[in-house]
Structure 1
Amino acid sequence: MNIFIKCPHCGEELQVVSAVGLEQKKVSCPKCKQPCTIGECIPKFCLKVGGKKYQLHFGKQWVGRKKEGNNAEVQIPDEQRYMSRKHALIELRCTANGVECTFEEHGTNPTLKDGIELIEDDIIFLFINDCLKLGETRMYLAGEFE
């Protein structure tokens, strides 16, 4: 499967064949000759909550409630405290089938994906525009060039 990437230096769009670990591979842009890693060039993924975007990166990252002292990589404000400080583990990785996003449930309060409740340690694949509800906070997976 091909992935479309964009040079972070000149904006040239290119196609590369997806493979495991592709995001770590170093390349030079054929147009501007600048070096970069494929991971820098792949469309960005984020969680959209209301009008705010929370950037996701390749590898594993915790998503949880924003609180002083919390070490979750993605911290989302939740005044009602229905979201756990470390509610879920999201992983982005390149595979032979393209970029995969998995979600592993760990929260105390319910998590729903498109209205279906997940249980502790469920691992699911996420796709662009999937709706997640962590506690009472609704968010969407988005992907775009930024």
Structure 2
Amino acid sequence: MKTHVKALVVGGGAVGTSIAYHLAKAGWSDVMLLERDELTSGSTWHAAGLLPYFNMSYATTHIHDYSIKFYKTLEEETGLNPGFYVVGNLRMAQSDARMDEYMLYASTAETCGVPYEWMTPDQIKERWPLVRTDDLKGA
């Protein structure tokens, strides 16, 4: 094993492997990743693997946006399927206060360039017939 490297990354979880990957991609040839066990065997192994597109933090939303775009191209670049699937979410409001909260979310999402769609209870019912919508204000 080498005793001197330009960059030593400790931990082979999601963050450590990403750092090592991006350093190598940026042209760093002297990068070492140290992991005490198997790759992704620590906290990463227990994670649900969710990557929400939207977050109320502008900076975090942009990190998520980069990550989603990155995972979409990873198989093409490496030939390995990361098992990444893009899905949406539905935030339903049963009160005016919750709708006001979602309007704040929408304005933040718009600022960050995150697509969103307002839905009436009838539109929700049409798309997802099993959802009870009689007490909803919208989504």
Normalized against structure 1, the TM-score is what? 0.23
Q: Give 1 or 2 for the bigger CA radius of gyration.
A: 2
Ranked by relative contact order (alpha carbons within 8 Å, sequence separation 6 or more), the top structure is 1
TM-score of the aligned structures, taking structure 2 as reference length: 0.24
Q: Which has the higher strand share?
A: 1
